[in-house]
Structure 1
Amino acid sequence: MMKKLILLIAGSFLLLSRPASAQQDAQYSQYMFNGIYINPAYAGYKEVLNVHSFYRSQWTGITGAPRSMSLAVDAIANSGNVGLALQVAS
C-alpha cells in the first residue's frame, strides 16, 4: 500500500513538473474547397483525382505569428467503391 502511494506521488510530481504546451486546429476560411479536412468520408466523391492546398498566415508582421499549411489529395479506387485520401498539415 505504501509503495503504491509513493509511486502515485512520484508520478503526479513528474506529470505536474513538465511545462504545458498545446495546439489547436488550423483555421481555414474556405472549407468548401477541402472537404477532407472536415470529413474524411468526402474522399473520392468527385470520382476524379483532386489536389487541394492551402496556406494561412495570421497576424502578418508579428514575430512568431501562427502559420497553417495543408495539402490534400483524394481519388477513387476499386472501380469507384472506395475513396482514398491523404492529407498533410503543418
Structure 2
Amino acid sequence: MMVYPVKHSPLLRQPEHFIARDELKALVQKVTHNLVNIKDETGEFLLRLDDGRVIDTKGWAGWEWTHGVGLYGMYHYYQQTGDQ
C-alpha cells in the first residue's frame, strides 16, 4: 500500500512503503499455502441445509462463495506477478 501524505511537495510526495517487497511476497505465499491446504478436521464448519445437503464451508470438499473470493485474489496476484 502506498501513502502520499503531502500533495504539493514533489520531494515529500515519494511513495512510502510499509512493508518490504520480499516480506510481502513471503506473506502472500504463506496465505496461499494455508488457503490451498485448509481442512475442516472436526466438522465444525459444515453447513447443514434443510434439504439434507452438507456444504464444507472451510475446506475444498465443497464450494462456497468464500472459496471464490480466495481464488479471485490468487488469480489477480498471479496476473500481476507471474508467481506460481
Q: Which has the higher strand share?
A: 1
TM-score interval (norm. to shorter):
under 0.3
In the superposition, the TM-score normalised over structure 2's length comes to 0.25
Q: Whose relative contact order is higher, 1 or 2, with alpha carbons under 8 Å and at least 6 apart?
A: 1
Structure with higher Rg: it is 1
